[in-house]
Structure 1
Amino acid sequence: MSEDPFEIYLVATPGLEAPLAAEARDLGWQATVQPGGVTIRGGWTDVWRANLMLRGATRVLARIGSFRAMHLAQLDKRARRFPWAHVLRPDLPVKVEATCRASRIYHAGAAAQRIERAIAEELGAPIAADAAMVVKARIEDDLVTISLDTTGRSLHKRGHKQAVAKAPMRETMAAMFLREMGFDGSQPVLDPMCGSGTFVIEAAEIAAGLAPGRSRGFAFESLAGFDPQAWDALRGSILPRPPATCFTGSDRDAGAVRMSGQNAQRAGVADWTRFDCCPIAEMQRPGGPPGLVIVNPPYGARVGNKGPLFGLHAAMGEAFRSRLAGWRIGIVTSEAGLAKATGLPLMPPGPIVAHGGLKVRLWQTGTLPG
């Protein structure tokens, strides 16, 4: 595989492009925010490292080439000349997904079929609707941009969480909300409605320097010219470090507490996490220095009747004020009224973030007074 640099597109959760760009910059890339994602430049080693190391991206697309096409016959001709053999293997099935915007080629299905036929007849690779290898063709202003989905299963599927609670927070979102709160691995983190433990486990992994993609495989491992020895060397170069603090979750549901502990065990962070079964009214201040609370409490769309939730949020706010002086609070919710019902000194909320068909925001406080 050539290491000549090309554009790499990091798909973000809508609304979390900025923290993903900041994460990419921290890892050494020059990153540019675009709607729905972030662009960087690099070679195939950068593609591997992005999949392995980025906590906020949902997938990594390698933009491997482009050409102009004004009509389907021209698309067919130029797709046949594209150097597919440089990146795809003839023995593995492929599927093509196309999008068209402001172009004379406007039928995405017909465009995808032409490109699939070109790959099948010129490279010899089989075409299959369920193929793990996905070629993406974006046709915009008559420019056809060819990308490879190098990820496979979404990057929020870290590979070590089996048990999930209702309405789970995706790991990619949890990591970016923690970043939005300024978490750098040195502060304790508490989630008093932990569900399956996502916030707590992500915080522990960040503090331990564990690569988020360490437990899973990627689509790029099936590309032509993939070097497994170099990939193993890259993975082996990521050395974890024991965190200096503990990360705590609690939940009133004993089943949620149990699954959180099991997920932490599979993730390799059980030594640095603790999960307790208790309602928020009985939440205890963790030992050690003040840190961050981040919580994704129930909101109306998830539980139906919103009435009782105002009392729950008021009680939550009182518990934080009375027991967590010196801590900072982050609340993820779709309802501004519920956030304000806590009575906490909230700052202006963060951007709207798409979460399972809902629009949520992160509401934060400064340091709570003593």
Structure 2
Amino acid sequence: MADPLDLFLAAPPGLEPWLAEELRELGYAPQTTAGGVTVSGTWSDVWRLNLECRGATRVLARIAEFRAFHLAQLDKRARKVAWGDVLRADRPVKIEATCRKSKIYHAGAASERIARAIQEELGAPVSDDAALTLKVRIDDNNVQVSVDTSGEALYKRGHKEWVGKAPLRETMAALLLRAAGFNGKMPVVDPMCGSGTFVLEAAGMAGGWQPGRDRAFAFEHLANFDAGAVSDLRRLDGGTSLHFRGSDRDAGAIRGATANAERADLTQATQFDMAPVSDFAPPEGPPGLVMCNPPYGARIGNRKPLFALYGALGETLKTRFAGWRVGIVTSDGGLAKATGLSLTESAPIAHGSLRVKLYTAQL
């Protein structure tokens, strides 16, 4: 359990390279793997990454690793782990185990052995309702034990109370903005903004606001939690001279997005207006990025009426947004084609039960 730690930061499959890019900007040397990125760090890095990383879904810290070929061996070696270095005897913990290509193939039995070791060696209670989760991965007879230091997924920033139909998670939005070419130094507009996720994430990225500044984390329940050190890392300020705009034809969406911006302390950098796509116009100033997550058949139902909407979007962009970049997220290539834009499509990206693609263009 000594430093350095192996830290795994989860990301939607298909967006791992963009999470790696963010981590390089934060000063780490990431290794990309399926479903996320691994970096080496200390417990201070655990606190920092939860507070500052925009694209990660959660941060896992590996606290033990050993070989085990049967349940008795798993039990014996789990008891040698210095659980008290990380876990507290007075805080419950949840155990989640997975088994793959191993002689230990029963995940439930493996969870029971780990739970018993923690209860009898440390005295900590084990509960399915615990705020703190240990993830045990047994792969090819190699046991890796990691603690989920985030708790609630990191897309829950703590300020977004209003959500619209089929919302996009903040962590995914941050990575999609990167994938579309956003560098924090250009304006971003969204003509179908819904709850304002793209606009708020872009403003936060440009202004340097910490995404985790308004929320709590599971690491606060750890034995080695240093409240003073975390307080020193937490920043509540930020700022940008750029302006970020969203519009939507739904008045409820505009009210909700505006309220979300107020809770995030981003009202000075954002603006939300009710308008159809056909009336959307670029703000004054240099060109930037048009980023949107329009409705599509898999999440709405009937796709036929959407062809006109995508056509109107394409016409608005072609006639009014010369020099701007465009990023459109959809699972429907036919609808993307209906924009009439010369789009480049990404590899598939996991979005819940769907697979979407990012379609980009330079106008």
Distance 1:264 1:114 in 2: 47
Match of 1:268 in 2: 265
TM alignment of 1:95-174, pairs within 5 A: 95-174=94-173
Match of 2:209 in 1: 210
User: Secondary structure of 1:206's match?
Assistant: helix
Distance 2:154 2:175 in 1: 13
Match of 1:357 in 2: 353
User: Secondary structure of 2:313's match?
Assistant: helix
The question of 1:288 aligning with 2:322 is answered no
Distance 2:326 2:111 in 1: 48
Per-residue deviation, 1:184: 1.6
Distance 1:210 1:72 in 2: 47
The residue identity in structure 2 corresponding to 1:210 is: W
Residue 317 of structure 1 contacts residue 343 of structure 1 at CA under 8 Å; is this kept in 2? yes
User: Secondary structure of 1:302's match?
Assistant: helix
User: Secondary structure of 1:58's match?
Assistant: coil
Match of 1:179 in 2: 178
Distance 1:230 1:311 in 2: 54
Match of 2:12 in 1: 13
Q: In terms of mean alpha carbon deviation, does 150-159 or 299-308 score higher? A: 299-308
Q: Deviations over 1:204-256 (max 9, x none)?
A: 111110011000011111100211111111114x752x212110000000000
Per-residue deviation, 1:4: 1.6
Residue 185 of structure 1 contacts residue 243 of structure 1 at CA under 8 Å; is this kept in 2? no
Distance 2:359 2:162 in 1: 27
Per-residue deviation, 1:3: 6.1
Residue 297 of structure 1 contacts residue 331 of structure 1 at CA under 8 Å; is this kept in 2? yes
TM alignment of 1:329-348, pairs within 5 A: 329-347=326-344
The residue identity in structure 1 corresponding to 2:350 is: A
Q: Deviations over 1:110-166 (max 9, x none)?
A: 000110011011100011111111111100111111100000000000011101001
The question of 1:227 aligning with 2:226 is answered yes
Q: In terms of mean alpha carbon deviation, does 282-291 or 32-41 score higher? A: 282-291
CA RMSD after TM alignment: 1.1
Distance 2:327 2:3 in 1: 42
The residue identity in structure 1 corresponding to 2:11 is: A
Per-residue deviation, 1:260: 0.3
The question of 1:257 aligning with 2:254 is answered yes
User: Secondary structure of 2:186's match?
Assistant: coil
Distance 1:193 1:4 in 2: 46
Residue 3 of structure 1 contacts residue 44 of structure 1 at CA under 8 Å; is this kept in 2? no
Match of 1:28 in 2: 27
The residue identity in structure 2 corresponding to 1:201 is: L
The question of 1:301 aligning with 2:298 is answered yes
The residue identity in structure 2 corresponding to 1:327 is: W
Match of 1:37 in 2: 36
Per-residue deviation, 1:14: 1.3
Q: Deviations over 1:10-30 (max 9, x none)?
A: 111111111001101110000
The residue identity in structure 2 corresponding to 1:22 is: E
Extract structure 1 runs of 4+ deviating beyond 3 A: none
TM-score between both structures, scaled by the size of structure 1:
0.96
User: Secondary structure of 1:365's match?
Assistant: strand
TM-score between both structures, scaled by the size of structure 2:
0.98
Distance 1:287 1:196 in 2: 23
Match of 1:310 in 2: 307
Q: How many residue pairs get matched?
A: 363
Match of 2:200 in 1: 201
Residue 186 of structure 1 contacts residue 244 of structure 1 at CA under 8 Å; is this kept in 2? no
The question of 1:80 aligning with 2:76 is answered no
- Unaligned ranges ≥5, structure 2: none
- Unaligned ranges ≥5, structure 1: none
Match of 1:328 in 2: 325
